[in-house]
């Protein structure tokens, strides 16, 4: 299941009044992970900047998202990438 349509992310977004992406982006930033949102529409790009006026609670972040395993890798496997 894709992360942005996961029921847990949707619930956290609803509770915080944010979009699903606006929940996932700060989670990445809190963990010092690279967050590279793919957006083509100007309104969505602007929406991505609306993540700095709230914080995920430790419970919402560590007990929920941190243990979430979708079983899907979001990027290439660094071990098998050919140069």
Q: Is residue 45 part of a domain?
A: yes
Q: Which pLDDT score, from 0 to 100, does residue 80 have?
A: 73
Q: Is residue 81 part of a domain?
A: no
pLDDT tens readout for residues 38-79: 778 888 888 888 888 878 877 666 567 877 766 666 666 667
**Interatomic CA distance for residues 78 and 83, integer angstroms:** 11
Q: Which pLDDT score, from 0 to 100, does residue 72 have?
A: 65
For residue 75, the 8-state DSSP code is S
Q: Which pLDDT score, from 0 to 100, does residue 60 have?
A: 61
Residue from 25, 45, 43, 44 nearest 35 by CA: 25
**Residue 45 exposed, middle or buried by CB count within 10 Å (0-12, 13-18, 19+):** exposed
Q: Is residue 56 part of a domain?
A: yes
Tally of domains in the chain: 1
**Interatomic CA distance for residues 69 and 16, integer angstroms:** 22
pLDDT tens readout for residues 18-31: 898 888 888 888 87
**Residue whose pair of structure tokens reads 């900047």 in the numeric block:** 49
Range of the domain at 22: 3-65
């Amino acid at each position: 299941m894709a992360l942005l349509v996961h029921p847990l992310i949707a619930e956290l977004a609803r509770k915080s009044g944010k979009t699903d992406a606006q929940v996932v982006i700060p989670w990445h930033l809190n963990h010092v992970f690279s967050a590279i949102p793919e957006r083509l529409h100007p309104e969505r790009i602007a929406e991505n900047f609306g993540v700095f006026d709230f914080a995920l609670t430790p419970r919402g972040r560590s007990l929920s998202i941190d243990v979430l395993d979708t079983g899907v890798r979001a990027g290439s496997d660094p071990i098998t990438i050919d140069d």
